[in-house]
Amino acid sequence: MTAPYAGLKVIELARVLAGPWIGQTLADLGAEVIKVESPDGDDTRKWGPPFIERPLPDGGTERVAAYFHSANRGKTSVVCDFRDADDLARLKALIAEADVLIENFKVGGLAKYGLDYASCAALNPRLVYASVSGFGQDGPRKHQPGYDFMAQGMTGIMDLTGDPDGEPQKIGVAWIDILTGLHGVIGVQAALAARERTGRGQQVDVSLMETGVGVLANQAMNYLVSGAAPTRMGNAHPNLVPYKVFPVADGHVIIATGNDRQFRALCAALGLDRFLTDARFADNAGRVAHRGELCDAISGATAEVEKAALIERLTALGIPVGPINTVAEAIDDPQMAARGMVIRPEGIPGVRTPIRLSDAETVSGRASPGLGQGKWAFGERS
C-alpha cells in the first residue's frame, strides 16, 4: 500500500508546536517534509529536560529535548540563514518545486526576505501556503505575538476549566496549538483539493485565537442562545446530569450518562430506585435543574464501592464509566498496545498520528531530524 501523500513536497518554515504539528501529520501521511531551521535550530530542541542523546551520521552526537521529538518525526532538516543570499536562493529554489509551505512567523515578517505569500505565489502559483499565527493575517490584533497559554486565557477555555472556587486552569498540554495544527492540516488538504480543480494554490490562514473560540462548541452556543456566559463547573457538565467525577472507595471514576436509558440503568445499579419514580428526574432537563440532590445521592452510593468493581458493574450495563488515568496508565493501556499507538522510529519512542486507513499506509518509521542533517533538494534524504 502507498501512503496517501507520497510524492507531496512540503517545506516547513515553522517552529515550536502548531506549525510543526502540521508538518509531522503530513509526514506521517507520506509527504516529504523539509524542515528549514535557523542556525540555532527550532527553539524546542532546548526545551528540556528530558533530553534524548543520539549519534549523528557525521559521527557526532546530538542532545535534543523530548519536546522537539514530539512534533518533528519523519522530516529532514536544513539550516538556512535568511540574511545569507546563497541560503535564501537555495530556499527559493525549493519553494519553486514544493506543493506546500508552512510558516508561523509574525504577520508580515517574511516579506523583507521575499518569502511572504504574494512573493512565493509569484514564484510557484501552485503552492499551498499555510500561515499559522496568534490572531490571523488581518484584524486589530494581527501583529500581536501568540502563545498557547495566552490563547487559552483569551478564548474562554480557562474560564471554563477548574474548580469554580479556585483559579482558572489551563489544559495540561498546549491544546490550542495542537488544534490549530490540526485545523491547519484540514486547510492544507482543502487547498490541495481545490488546486486539483483550479490548478492554483492559495493561502491557508489559521490562528490560535480563532481555533480556541471555534472549538468552544456547545459552550459557545450556550452563550449565543442564552446571553449568559458559561463559567467553570469543575468536572460537571453544563448540559448533562449525571456527567461528572464521582468518588469511589479507592479514588474516583467518571460516570457520563448521555440519555434516559443510561440514567435508569445507573439508578438501578446503585440502588437509587427512588429517582426512577420522581418526576423531577424523568428527563435530562429536570436532572440539570436538580443536579445537586441527584449527584449527592450518586456520590453516596459510589463511595461505598471500589473502583474496579464499579467500573465492571456499570460497563456490563452499558453505562459510560471509566477511570482517571495517569499519562503512564493511558499510554500503557492494553487498548493502546493493541492499536500500536507507541512507536519507536530509529529507536526513539513516540506516539503515532492517530489515523488508520483501510487501504493506505501511514509512515512512522523515521525519527525527528538532526539539525541540518538533510539535503537541499527533495528526494535526497540523508
- The catalytic residue positions are 177
**Residue 20: count of CB within 10 angstroms of its CB:** 29
What's the chain's length in residues?
Answer: 382
Mode of pairing for the β-strands spanning 243-248 and 251-256: antiparallel
Q: How far is CA 373 from CA 34, 56, 151, 187, in A?
A: 10, 8, 34, 29
